[in-house]
Structure formats: structure tokens, C-alpha cells
Amino acid sequence: MATINTSYQKLAAGYLFPEIGRRVREFQNARANADVLRLGIGDTTEPLTSTIVKGLQDAVAGLGTTDGYSGYGDSEGIPALREAIAAQYQKLGTPVHADEVFVSDGAKPDSANIQSIFGPDNVVAVQDPAYPVYVDSNVISGRTGEAANGCYEGLVYMPCTEDNGFFPELPKQKADLIYICSPNNPTGAVATHAQLKAFVDYARANQAIILFDSAYAAFITDPSLPRSIYEIEGATECAIEISSFSKSVGFTGVRLGWSIVPNALVAEGTSPGEIKGLWTRRQNTFFNGASNLVQAGGVAALSDPGLAEMQEQVSFYLENARIIREGVEGVGLTAFGGVNAPYVWMRTPPGVSSWEFFDKVLSECYVVGTPGAGFGPSGEGYFRLSAFGHRANIERAVESLRTRLKL
């Protein structure tokens, strides 16, 4: 008799964003399809830039010729893209090489799949609040016990609060796999060199591994802030970095990302190169590589004109973030983030839970945000607005908050 993976039954709720979508549809059904302004999920809205469109079109045309046709590629990615990604790391002064770059169909699948190369007994530590995929993927793989009071047994929660500037203290208990996201989703906080160094030192001293999500690194405009964990000395021995084209060039639907698994990376009982070998083996077995067309789009995105256009698009969303943050502060709420990150994180009014505030903002202002509690227990009492949107919609949302929110 077939049985199921019962760890799925431990998952405390449906995945956050479909749940928000369900509530919004319910609201719209009850209000004759009210026109809601969606600042919930961080989904890009601006068209692909001309350099990327040309790169994609050329790749399509090439596939229509005998000489330009290609079938299966390496599951690690096409060499041109691996080299272009490594070149971006080298510009930051980091020692990342093309053979350590694994191209994928996005940071979300990589951040869910990466845990599969580590043993079941690893203790997992997450920032709290955190992107739900880190927690859910480890629950599904059986690394946690049951959920109680919003926390899974066996998981180390590292609170990110106003008091610590939304960057956690080092774990006090044993932690083997440590997820860090900077710029952070959902709080918009960006870790400094010193903060990352403390974690790298901890990881090296304890033979732990940091799983560093840099999907929003392109939004860092402050040159003093690190865009990659490999800017910290020693990080290639203890960190995997996962990143994405989704938010920087609007590939949320196109799908393209990458992970860096350094040759130098080691875990207990392994020698350099072994962990990279495991990830290669995992990808070779489960994945036939990202679409060759999409990878051509990625190469175009990392060309000089592509990078200039990327910067323009990122600046556009950062301006949205500024408008949201100032708008939110204008109505008397306390806001964080939204400066080197596309998310504005705000405190809900006293006595109003994050889901209550979600309902309030939706029903009074027709604006969709994301309740902080959906990202973990320390997200309770907070609410996130995403800066991904057309300018007119962002301005309408801010105006609606200003004129209709009853505080």
C-alpha cells in the first residue's frame, strides 16, 4: 500500500501567497469585483528591457536554424551565462568562479531544494520573520517536529526585531544550516559587513553552513553594504549563495536564478569539492537545466547595456518604495526598509494583529499587502507592502491609505 510523506501534514497552513489570493478573491466576489491595488506578493510589473527582448528573440531565431539549434544543455547552465554571473561576483572582489555557478529556474526552487543535500539531523536556523520556503521545505523533509504556537519544534528561530534592527543575534543553541536573506524579505533590512562576518565566523567555528539568499541584492545602492556573502573573508568555506533574475530584470514569470556552491565549501567529514559534487549530482538527476532561451535572456541582462537597463528598472522600483514609505509615515505608521530593498515593513497600529490589519487595509483602502505573521511569529504586529507595481497604482494605493485608512 502506498503511503504519503506525512511531513506535509505538519505544515501549519496553506502557502502564504495563495492564501492571500484566496482572501482577495473572496473580497472581490463580495464587492462586485472591486478594483484592488496589489502590493502583496513581490511580483514585478514593468516590461522586459529592450536588450533582454533582443537576446530572447535572437535565441528563438537561432533555434529555428540547423546551425543554431540546441537540445539538452548542461544542467549547471550554459557556459556563457555561468561566466557572466561569475564576472559580476568578480566585480565585487569576491573569489567566485564560473565552475561554482549553478544556473536554475529561480531562487525559490533552489532555496527549497538545497536542503536535500544535507543530512536529516541538521538543526536548521531561520531568521524570524523569513521567506516561508526555508521553513516549509525543511518541514516537508522531516527536519522539524509539529507546529505549536506558530513555531515548529526543532527549528531555531532567530528573532529579527526593531530592537536588533531586524538582523538576528547569533544562535545560542546548536545550528547547522542557517538561512540568511539580505536585503531581507520581508523586513527590507540589509545586513552590514560586520553582521555577516559574525555569522561567517560562527559558521566556520561550528562547521555550520549559511544558506544566503541574495535575490534582492540589485536593490542595494549604498556602496558600504555587501551585495554578496562572499565579500566576507572565509565565506566560500561555509556559505552557499542563492540568487535570482526575478526582481532585478522582471523574470518572475520568465524564471531564471542561480546558486553558488564554492569548491572550498565544507561540512563535517567532507573535503573541499564534495558538497559541490553533491549539488551537481542532485541537479543532474532532478533537473535538465534552465530553458536555453531564458538563459540567453540572462546573458543579455548581464551585458553592459543590459546592466544599465537593469539599474534603471531597479531605480524605478526603489522610487516606488520611497513613495510607499513616505506615504505610510505620512498616515502616522512607523515604517522600516524600502531604502536598499523593495519591501516596506511597517508596524501595525496598537492592538491590531497583522491579519486584522490586512483585512482592514483591504476593506477600507482596497489595498493588498502581506501580513507579517505569514512570515513567522516575530512578524506578528507588522505588515509588508511591496514596491513592485506600476507607478500610477503605487500612487493610488498611497493616496487611498492617506484618505481612507481609519486609524
Q: Which residue has the cell 473572496?
A: 26
For 324, left (φ over 0), alpha (ψ -120 to 50), or beta? alpha
Instruction: Count Cβ atoms within 10 A of the Cβ of residue 192 and give its class: 0-12 exposed, 13-18 middle, 19 or more buried.
Output: middle
Taking 3-state DSSP, the helix, strand and coil percentages for the chain, each rounded to the nearest 5, stand at 45, 15, 40
Using the minimum distance from each CB to ligand MLT, give the nearer residue, 320 or 386. 386
| Among 171, 82, 71, CA closest to 128 | 171
Using the minimum distance from each CB to ligand MLT, give the nearer residue, 171 or 374. 374
Residue 82 binds ligand MLT, judged by CB under 6 A: no
- State the number of binding residues for ligand MLT (CB under 6 A): 6
In the complex, minimum distance from the CB of residue 17 to ligand MLT, in angstroms, rounded to a whole number: 6
Using the minimum distance from each CB to ligand MLT, give the nearer residue, 246 or 292. 246
| DSSP states along 347-379 | EPPTT--HHHHHHHHHHHH-EE-EEGGGG-GGG
In the complex, minimum distance from the CB of residue 184 to ligand MLT, in angstroms, rounded to a whole number: 11
Residue 129 binds ligand MLT, judged by CB under 6 A: no
Using the minimum distance from each CB to ligand MLT, give the nearer residue, 185 or 214. 185
Residue 185 binds ligand MLT, judged by CB under 6 A: yes
Residue 108 binds ligand MLT, judged by CB under 6 A: yes
In the complex, minimum distance from the CB of residue 314 to ligand MLT, in angstroms, rounded to a whole number: 15
Phi and psi for 316 in degrees, rounded to 5? -60, -50
Element (H, E) at 156: strand 156-159
Using the minimum distance from each CB to ligand MLT, give the nearer residue, 78 or 375. 375
Residue 42 binds ligand MLT, judged by CB under 6 A: yes
In the complex, minimum distance from the CB of residue 13 to ligand MLT, in angstroms, rounded to a whole number: 15
Give the DSSP letter of residue 336: E
Element (H, E) at 321: helix 304-330
Using the minimum distance from each CB to ligand MLT, give the nearer residue, 108 or 197. 108
- Diameter of the chain measured on Cα atoms: 66
Residue 41 binds ligand MLT, judged by CB under 6 A: yes
The CB-nearest residue to ligand MLT is 42
Site for ligand MLT, rule CB under 6 A: 41-42, 108, 131, 185, 386
